Amino acid sequence: MCHVLNEAVASIPSTDRRRLLSMVGLGAVGAVTATALGTPAAAAAPAPAARTGHGSKARTRVVLLGTSGGPAVLDGGRHGVSTAIAFEDKVYVVDLGVGAFGRLQQSGLAPDTGLGSALSWMRGIFFTHLHSDHTVDWPTTYAIGSMNIVGRSGGPVQVFGPAPRDTLSRVFPPTRPAPALVNPDEPMPGISSMTGHLRNAFAQDFNDRLRDSNFPDPDTLFEVHDIDHSALWTIDPEGVPPRLEAPIQVWKDGEVTVTATLVDHHPTAPAYGYRFDTPDGSVVVSGDTCVSQNLIDLARGADVLVHEVIDPEFVERLTAALPPETAEALRKHLLESHTTIEQVGRDVAEPAGVGTLALSHLVPGNNPSARWRKAQRGFSGDLVVGEDLMVIPVGRARWNG
Which residues fall within 8 angstroms of residue 245, CB to CB, at 6 or more apart?
Answer: none
Listed residue (401, 394, 396, 395) closest to 62, CA to CA: 394
Residue 263, pLDDT > 70, answer yes
Residue 213, pLDDT > 70, answer yes
Distances (CA, A) of 391 to 37, 189, 311: 22, 34, 24
Which residues fall within 8 angstroms of residue 260, CB to CB, at 6 or more apart?
Answer: 126, 227, 247, 248, 250, 272, 273, 274, 275, 298
pLDDT at 297: 98
SS3 241: coil
Domains of the chain: 2-38+50-175+188-395 (3.60.15.10)
pLDDT at 76: 63
Distance between CA 387 and CA 42 in Å, rounded? 10
More confident residue, 396 or 128: 128
Whole-number average pLDDT of the chain:
87
Residues listed for the chain: 401
- pLDDT digit string (tens) for 14-58? 444 444 444 444 332 222 222 233 333 333 334 444 433 446 789
How many other CB atoms are there within 10 angstroms of residue 301's CB atom? 11
**First-to-final CA distance of the chain:** 40
What does the radius of gyration of the chain's CA atoms come to, in whole angstroms?
20
Which residues lie across from 256 on neighbouring strands? Answer: 253
- pLDDT digit string (tens) for 56-80? 789 999 999 999 997 656 456 899 9
Overall pTM > 0.95? no
Listed residue (38, 19, 48, 10) closest to 317, CA to CA: 19
pLDDT at 381: 98
91 membership: H or E segment, kind and range: strand 90-94
